[in-house]
């Protein structure tokens, strides 16, 4: 205690004693004659504490950082022995100091050696500011859409699949297209996992909206899901079949809807053929074809010259799909085994399920031909029980595949046209003649406005256009450039090899996904942070409690004195 504090304390005490003596003499009531002196002394003590509040222990090296998403229980149990600051977006009490970012807060508190983060976690701009300081993290409970896994690009006409995870009160998810129509929906499974899909019907960028709903069908979170559908050149395919069947009918319809140039020859009876285009299996025709489809009987009916032409074309890149629709003759099985597709006959057709593979909303039993693949076969489609339904082998520059599934058309009858297209799009894409495609430079996959983004592998001729199609200046150094997007929407990176679109989310889009990203990044820093030694210090307590106490006591004394004067 300083000399100034002692002198002021003595003055306050003397004044309080004189006031207490005078108040006691003026009161007629024995109760108030005893109580008023005590109130005078208490008011004097509160006034002295207001001028010179007592000091309390505080960790000068520790800082509590409040981030968005901190719950009320977390805010109510803030550590009282260390300073606290709130980052933008945090619902912190008004008494908590605000800071635009963590680096600024650390400059204001240079003695900070340990940081406690409360809420969803630190955004990317603040991660590097932690440095070598100690770090602990009290994470808020995850809510909404917290994981998304979807290809950024897909081919037109194929099934595009979106997998993810929802947390909190979400019980159902639905996927909407640009028009707002629901294209797929699913319940949230164990652990919050879900699978949705859609079909790319036109080339170019498309933005789907994923919504998470609770039990009352209220939207608890939503996220834009961008995807770029590639058009590419139309495929040319040839089909030869020993007879018509339902699967072949729906497959041909799908191929034409997908823009495939298809020619087919289907035997109806001896000497009677259904022809759709010209299916000639010579070197010239096969060189202009991307995929040839044969069944086991049409393969057996090929002449030696036709088989040689087909295999020669496969060596040059042609894709060959062998459909198994029934029992396979031993001679045919032996030839296919030499092509790397060993088949073992079975007694009868088997029942298989693709419910999990295709993400079907309702169970659908399917059938497989009376055969199974040998151990050497390289499967690329398996039933839910693990049984191989399609396998392929490489030959020269091309691929040969065999398919045992014989009634995929049931998907169409059940209203699963999108999953039917996805199934066959995957088969054709696996086997068809390979075509060179330009690969885009690395693009931001999860970008939000006002967050720093980086583009790399850039040439000096690279140009960036924002969502308003305004060119943004890029300062390219060592092939990389950074930018801060201000608008949400589709951005475009133009290079010498092409134009590459990517999407930037609005600040309020995919809140759960952003929170999960920040939480994971902060938790990773906690694992690498070192423990900091505690540094204690003394700081004055807040003055406002003592001011309120003094004001209430003074008001009570004033009221009693006025009552005493009115009574006289």
560 close to 32: Cβ distance less than 8 angstroms: yes
Q: Is the pLDDT of residue 86 over 70?
A: yes
Residue 176 and residue 256 in one domain:
no
Question: Out of 180-194, 248-262, 286-300, 397-411, which region has the weakest mean confidence (pLDDT)?
Answer: 248-262
CA-CA distance, 135 to 102, in Å (whole number)? 13
Residue 79 and residue 41 in one domain:
no
How many beta carbons lie within 10 A of that of residue 60, not counting itself? 18
| Cβ within 8 Å of residue 374, ≥6 positions away | 337, 342, 343, 344
Mean pLDDT across the stretch 115-121?
90
Q: Is the pLDDT of residue 532 over 50?
A: no
Of the candidates 231, 252, 274, which is a domain's last residue?
231
Confidence of residue 223 (pLDDT cuts 50, 70, 90): very high
Residue 264 and residue 398 in one domain:
yes
Q: Is the pLDDT of residue 530 over 70?
A: no
509 close to 218: Cβ distance less than 8 angstroms: no
**Of 150, 16, 60, which Cα lies nearest the Cα of 538?**
60
Residue 171 and residue 250 in one domain:
no
CATH number for position 95: 3.40.50
CA-CA distance, 114 to 132, in Å (whole number)? 9
CATH number for position 215: 2.60.40.2550
CATH number for position 300: 3.40.50.880
Residue 184 and residue 289 in one domain:
no
Tokens 């300083």 map to which residue? 2
Residue 283 and residue 425 in one domain:
yes
Q: Is the pLDDT of residue 242 over 50?
A: yes
Q: Is the pLDDT of residue 465 over 60?
A: yes
E strands of 140-203, at which residues?
144-150, 153-155, 159-167, 172-176, 182-187, 193-199
Residue 350 and residue 288 in one domain:
yes
Q: Is the pLDDT of residue 245 over 90?
A: no
Of the candidates 213, 231, 249, which is a domain's last residue?
231
Confidence of residue 536 (pLDDT cuts 50, 70, 90): very low
Confidence of residue 533 (pLDDT cuts 50, 70, 90): very low
Tokens 């074309």 map to which residue? 313
Check residues 158 and 137 and name the one with the higher pLDDT.
Answer: 137
Confidence of residue 487 (pLDDT cuts 50, 70, 90): very high
What are residue 105's DSSP bridge partners? none
260 close to 234: Cβ distance less than 8 angstroms: yes
Residue 100 and residue 215 in one domain:
no
Among left, alpha and beta (phi > 0; psi -120 to 50; other), residue 312 is: alpha
pLDDT, one tens digit per residue, over 152-202 is 888 777 778 899 999 988 999 999 998 889 988 888 988 899 988 888 777
Check residues 234 and 124 and name the one with the higher pLDDT.
Answer: 124
Question: Out of 40-49, 119-128, 301-310, 329-338, which region has the weakest mean confidence (pLDDT)?
Answer: 40-49
Tokens 């169970």 map to which residue? 363
For residue 443, tell me if it sits in a domain: no
What is the pLDDT at residue 402? 94
Whole-angstrom CA distances from 22 to 14, 540, 554, 556 are 12, 34, 15, 16
Q: Is the pLDDT of residue 534 over 70?
A: no
Check residues 71 and 58 and name the one with the higher pLDDT.
Answer: 71
Residue 329 and residue 406 in one domain:
yes
Residue 184, judged by CB atoms within 10 A of its CB (0-12, 13-18, 19+), counts as: buried
CA-CA distance, 236 to 284, in Å (whole number)? 13
What is the rounded (10 degree) CA torsion for 22, 27, 33, 39? Answer: -60
For residue 66, tell me if it sits in a domain: yes
Residue 106 and residue 250 in one domain:
no
For residue 511, tell me if it sits in a domain: no
For residue 403, tell me if it sits in a domain: yes
- Percent of the chain having pLDDT more than 90? 37
Owning domain of residue 8: 3-54+542-567
For residue 147, tell me if it sits in a domain: no
Q: What are phi and psi of 518, to 5 degrees?
A: -65, -40
Residue 112, judged by CB atoms within 10 A of its CB (0-12, 13-18, 19+), counts as: buried
**Of 152, 145, 153, which Cα lies nearest the Cα of 210?**
145
What is the 3-state secondary structure of 442-458? CCCCCCECCCCEEECCC
CA-CA distance, 511 to 143, in Å (whole number)? 9
Long-range interactions of 22-28: CB distance < 8 A, separation 24+: 23/557, 23/561, 26/561, 26/564, 27/564, 28/564, 28/567
Mean pLDDT across the stretch 300-304?
90
**Inter-axis angle of helices 30-51 and 544-567, nearest 10:** 150
Residue 25 and residue 80 in one domain:
no
What are residue 463's DSSP bridge partners? 494
Mean pLDDT across the stretch 300-306?
90
What is the pLDDT at residue 464? 93
Of the candidates 431, 462, 488, which is a domain's last residue?
431
- What is the total count of domains within the chain? 5
**Of 185, 184, 188, which Cα lies nearest the Cα of 168?**
188
Mean pLDDT across the stretch 487-505?
91
Check residues 110 and 405 and name the one with the higher pLDDT.
Answer: 405
What is the pLDDT at residue 231? 73
- Percent of the chain having pLDDT more than 70? 89
How does the average pLDDT of the chain come out, rounded?
Answer: 84
Instruction: List the Cα angle 70/71/75 in 5-degree steps.
Output: 80
Residue 207, judged by CB atoms within 10 A of its CB (0-12, 13-18, 19+), counts as: middle
Is residue 352 classed as helix, strand or coil in its secondary structure?
Answer: strand
What is the pLDDT at residue 41? 77
| Cβ within 8 Å of residue 108, ≥6 positions away | 85, 97, 99
Residue 401 and residue 321 in one domain:
yes
What are residue 187's DSSP bridge partners? 172
Q: Is the pLDDT of residue 293 over 50?
A: yes
Buried-state track 15-25, b at ≥16 Cβ within 10 A, e below 16:
ebeebbeebee
44 close to 23: Cβ distance less than 8 angstroms: no
What is the pLDDT at residue 388? 92
State how beta strands 82-86 and 55-66 pair: parallel
For residue 370, tell me if it sits in a domain: yes
E strands of 436-532, at which residues?
453-455, 463-465, 471-472, 481-483, 489-495, 498-504
Check residues 515 and 6 and name the one with the higher pLDDT.
Answer: 515
Question: Out of 145-149, 152-156, 430-434, which region has the weakest mean confidence (pLDDT)?
Answer: 152-156
For residue 509, tell me if it sits in a domain: no
- For the whole model, what pTM was predicted? 0.68
Question: Out of 27-36, 262-271, 430-439, which region has the weakest mean confidence (pLDDT)?
Answer: 27-36
**Of 485, 515, 518, which Cα lies nearest the Cα of 502?**
485
Q: What tokens were used for 93?
A: 């009490």
For residue 441, tell me if it sits in a domain: no
Residue 295, judged by CB atoms within 10 A of its CB (0-12, 13-18, 19+), counts as: buried
């Amino acid at each position: 205690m300083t000399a100034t504090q002692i002198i002021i304390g003595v003055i306050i005490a003397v004044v309080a004693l004189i006031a207490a003596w005078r108040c006691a003499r003026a009161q007629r009531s024995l109760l108030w004659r005893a109580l008023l002196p005590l109130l005078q002394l208490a008011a004097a003590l509160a006034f002295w504490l207001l001028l010179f509040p007592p000091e309390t222990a505080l960790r000068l090296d520790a800082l509590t950082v409040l981030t968005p998403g901190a719950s009320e229980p977390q805010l109510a149990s803030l550590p009282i022995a260390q300073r606290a600051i709130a980052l933008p977006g945090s619902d912190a009490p008004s008494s908590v100091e605000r800071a635009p970012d963590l680096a600024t807060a650390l400059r204001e508190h240079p003695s900070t050696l340990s940081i406690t983060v409360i809420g969803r976690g630190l955004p990317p701009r603040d991660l590097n500011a932690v440095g070598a300081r100690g770090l602990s993290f009290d994470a808020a409970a995850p809510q909404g859409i917290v994981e998304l896994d979807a290809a950024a690009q897909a081919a037109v006409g194929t099934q595009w699949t979106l997998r993810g995870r929802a947390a909190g009160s979400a019980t159902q998810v639905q996927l909407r297209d640009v028009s707002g129509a629901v294209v797929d929906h699913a319940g949230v499974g164990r652990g919050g996992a879900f699978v949705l899909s859609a079909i790319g019907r036109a080339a170019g960028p498309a933005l789907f909206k994923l919504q998470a709903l609770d039990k009352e069908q209220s939207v608890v979170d939503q996220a834009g899901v961008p995807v770029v559908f590639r058009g590419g050149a139309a495929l040319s395919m040839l089909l030869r079949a020993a007879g018509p069947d339902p699967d072949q009918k729906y497959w041909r319809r799908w191929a034409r809807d997908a823009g495939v140039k298809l020619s087919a020859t289907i035997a109806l009876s001896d000497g009677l053929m259904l022809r759709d285009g010209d299916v000639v299996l010579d070197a010239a025709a096969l060189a202009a074809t991307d995929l040839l489809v044969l069944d086991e009987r049409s393969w057996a009916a090929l002449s030696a010259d036709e088989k040689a032409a087909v295999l020669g074309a496969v060596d040059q890149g042609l894709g060959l799909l062998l459909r198994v629709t029934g029992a396979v003759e031993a001679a045919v099985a032996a030839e296919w085994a030499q092509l790397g597709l060993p088949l073992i006959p079975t007694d009868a057709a088997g029942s298989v399920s693709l419910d999990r593979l295709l993400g079907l909303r309702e169970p659908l039993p399917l059938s497989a031909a009376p055969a199974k693949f040998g151990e050497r076969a390289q499967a690329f489609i398996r039933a839910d029980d693990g049984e191989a339904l399609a396998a392929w082998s490489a030959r020269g520059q091309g691929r040969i595949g065999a398919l045992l599934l014989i009634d995929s058309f049931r998907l169409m009858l059940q209203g699963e046209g999108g999953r039917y297209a996805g199934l066959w799009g995957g088969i054709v894409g696996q086997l068809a003649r390979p075509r060179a495609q330009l690969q885009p430079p690395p693009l931001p996959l999860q970008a939000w406005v006002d967050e720093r983004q980086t583009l790399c592998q850039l040439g000096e001729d690279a140009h960036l256009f924002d969502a308003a199609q305004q060119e943004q200046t890029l300062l390219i150094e060592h092939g990389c450039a950074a930018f801060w997007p201000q608008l949400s929407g589709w951005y475009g990176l133009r290079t010498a090899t092409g134009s590459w679109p990517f999407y930037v989310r609005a600040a309020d889009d995919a809140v759960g996904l952003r929170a999960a990203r920040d939480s994971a990044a902060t938790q990773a820093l906690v694992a690498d942070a070192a423990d900091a030694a505690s540094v204690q210090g003394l700081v004055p307590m807040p003055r406002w409690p003592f001011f309120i106490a003094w004001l209430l006591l003074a008001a009570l004394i004033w009221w009693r004195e006025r009552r005493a004067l009115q009574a006289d």
